[in-house]
Amino acid sequence: MATWSSESVPRALLPVLIHEMNNGTQLLVGFRSLLDIPGGEALFAQKAGELAEGSQKLEDLGFALAVLSTSSGANMLMARRERRGIQILWDLATRTLERSGEHGVHTQGSPPELMPSALTGWEVPWAAAALLLLASDAMGIDAWRWRWSGARLVGRAGVPVQLDEAALASIQERVPGSLIHIDGDSLTWDLAAEWVEA
């Protein structure tokens, strides 16, 4: 990424999100075309599991698009809330970084599920993706070892963490009630306890 700003997140994630939405749409068109061939109904029924997986993937991508749009000022999320919101945006940021082919993102554990009352629904998933993108851009993807444990994310770089303080402050201001902290070779993000499922 160039100079980091709040728009760095959509700029980084949108190409992968659009590519994956296109793939999902092509899958749906393929399923639709099955119904036009003789015996297609039976084949369509056999592929119901794949259709369900593809539909869930498109639903997740729709949520991610709504988060990115809302973070940029267009309230596309509206009243929608997604308990798996952090996981959806973390996974999209991971696929975006791994698309470069440089290295894989090393993550242990899973993000917590969000309560519907977590801010206005988009900020916490957005901040998770923003932290991953910012840290990876500043110090390299392979430098980091990430661990989700309950309402805490810890990233260890193995060397003293050096991240743009203004960028971190920009992320922090979108998630008031949480705490982003750098100490030596680690970055810790403690989410507000009331945001996550117990």
73-124: pLDDT as tens digits: 887 877 789 999 999 999 999 999 998 766 789 999 999 999 999 999 999 9
**How many domains does the chain divide into?**
1
pLDDT band at 186 (very low <50, low <70, confident <90, very high): very high
Residue 186, φ and ψ in degrees, nearest 5? -125, 150
Is 49 part of a structural domain of the chain? yes
Q: In sequence order, what are the residues at sequence separation of 6 or more whose Cβ sits closer than 8 angstroms to the Cβ of residue 195?
A: 114, 115, 117, 118, 119, 124, 151, 177, 178
Is 1 part of a structural domain of the chain? no
Is 3 part of a structural domain of the chain? no
Is 184 part of a structural domain of the chain? yes
Is 133 part of a structural domain of the chain? yes
The mean pLDDT of the chain is: 91
Is 23 part of a structural domain of the chain? yes
Q: Measured between alpha carbons, how far is 177 from 191 in angstroms, rounded to an integer?
A: 7
Is 182 part of a structural domain of the chain? yes
Residue pLDDT, tens place only, 27-75: 888 888 888 888 888 888 888 888 889 889 999 999 999 999 999 888 7
Query: Can you give the residue range of the structural domain that contains 90?
Result: 8-195
- CA dist list (Å): 62 to 79, 88, 163: 14, 10, 30
Is 44 part of a structural domain of the chain? yes
